[in-house]
């Protein structure tokens, strides 16, 4: 599911956060949800293909590989990965 404009991206991010919240509520407090690539894409606002490419090339969030096609992302790993890429200006992003 490609996200084509910023308005859609914001709405998908909100849906992703709601989904994670409901997953967290269903788990015991010491566990965290493991998201599929599709769920991680919604949570981060990125395309599934982008996450797959980053997984292949490197540079993406850490992930858990249960098998050849069974890949999951821990929410804490996605949050940490996004936090590492948070900048306050475009010049800061260029220096990184």
Whether 54 maps to a domain, the answer reads yes
Whether 70 maps to a domain, the answer reads yes
The whole-number average pLDDT for the span 24-42 is 82
Which residue from 33, 43, 34, 36 is spatially nearest to 3, judged by alpha carbons?
Answer: 43
Beta bridge partners of 65: 71
Whether 91 maps to a domain, the answer reads yes
| Enclosing domain of residue 73 | 6-95
Q: How far is CA 34 from the centre of its chain?
A: 11
Domain count, the chain: 1
The whole-model pTM stands at: 0.68
Whether 52 maps to a domain, the answer reads yes
Range list of H helices, 1-96: 6-26, 37-44, 48-57, 75-84, 90-95
Where residue 16 falls among pLDDT bands split at 50, 70, 90?
low
Whether 13 maps to a domain, the answer reads yes
Whether 1 maps to a domain, the answer reads no
The greatest distance separating any two alpha carbons of the chain, rounded to the nearest whole angstrom, comes to 42
Whether 76 maps to a domain, the answer reads yes
pLDDT in tens, 46-81: 999 999 999 999 999 999 999 888 999 999 999 999
Residue 38 token pair: 């599709």
């Amino acid at each position: 599911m490609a996200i084509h404009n910023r308005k859609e991206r914001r709405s998908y991010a909100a849906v992703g956060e709601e989904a994670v919240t409901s997953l967290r509520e269903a788990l015991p407090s010491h566990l965290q949800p493991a998201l599929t690539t599709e769920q991680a894409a919604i949570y981060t606002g990125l395309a599934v293909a982008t996450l797959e490419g980053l997984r292949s090339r490197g540079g993406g969030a850490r992930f858990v590989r249960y098998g050849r096609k069974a890949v999951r992302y821990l929410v804490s790993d996605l949050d940490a990965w996004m936090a590492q890429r948070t900048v306050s200006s475009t010049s800061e992003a260029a220096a990184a």
